[in-house]
Homo-oligomer: A and B are copies of this chain.
């Protein structure tokens, strides 16, 4: 299935109306069924649907490692990914519902209770990176972002070491793009510890927490963070870098991981 779609449009200027074709991104409803329980329907870009499903389950704490997975089936026609695990489904229906309401994109989180954030371990990784290495990663990241350049409506994410991009993804949703990364890492046994996450999107508290849960010490964005994102980054030991553009960047927390030279 194509990630972009050609549609007929009319272009208007002050004095002219002309028909043309435009390319828009595909928005695909994907339903995730986990151990025969329909969990959620995500709106996503129709690529790497298995990564998205596994990454979503992993981010929500419903799946820890590849070994737990008994079976994954992707039905692209019907827009369904089914994931089955060896373990019994510990989550009762209501628990799953409650959990899902707390997920996603500014539409409700409950981790502001001290218990939830308090339960999150601080990231202790001693990984360091030079400013130059950040600029080079961001430059490579920008070059990889194909769909965005075509249609202007897609987010990208990448897992990197200090030298290069290891895993790259694109999706219409900034949460989905990151979950696709985590899903690929889960399925390919790529560790996220000591690694770097680059995202095209704003760094809100939810994105920050998502990274901290994966023990990621460095989070880089070309966009702005929120105050709560900065606060959590300080509390959870994450180095938060925003407005990374060209040869400039802002470091909002734990700047000891960024060295000026080297």
Contact = CB atoms under 8 A, between A and B. Distances in A.
Interface of A: 4-5, 7, 9-17, 20, 22, 24-29, 40-44, 94, 97-98, 100-110, 112, 131-132, 134-135, 151-153, 172-173, 175-176, 202, 204-206, 223-230, 243, 247-252, 255, 258, 260-261
A224 B107 contact: no
A176 B105 CA distance: 11
Contact of A172 (B13, B16, B101, B204): B204
A5 B229 CA distance: 12
14 contacts: A9-B250, A12-B260, A14-B247, A40-B107, A42-B108, A43-B109, A43-B204, A43-B206, A94-B94, A97-B101, A105-B106, A107-B173, A153-B202, A172-B226
Given A9-B250, A11-B248, A43 B106 contact: yes
A161 to B, nearest CB: 19
A171 to B, nearest CB: 9
Given A101-B101, A105-B104, A152-B223, A12 B204 contact: no
Given A107-B103, A227-B25, A255 B172 contact: no
A99 to B, nearest CB: 10
B251 A27 contact: no
Given A12-B248, A41-B110, A131-B14, A226 B25 contact: yes
A20 B250 CA distance: 9
Nearest to A43: B106
Contact of A107 (B26, B97, B105, B110): B105
A25 B224 contact: yes
B106 A12 contact: no
Contact of A9 (B223, B229, B251): B251
B252 A7 contact: yes
Given A10-B251, A43-B204, A261-B15, A106 B175 contact: yes
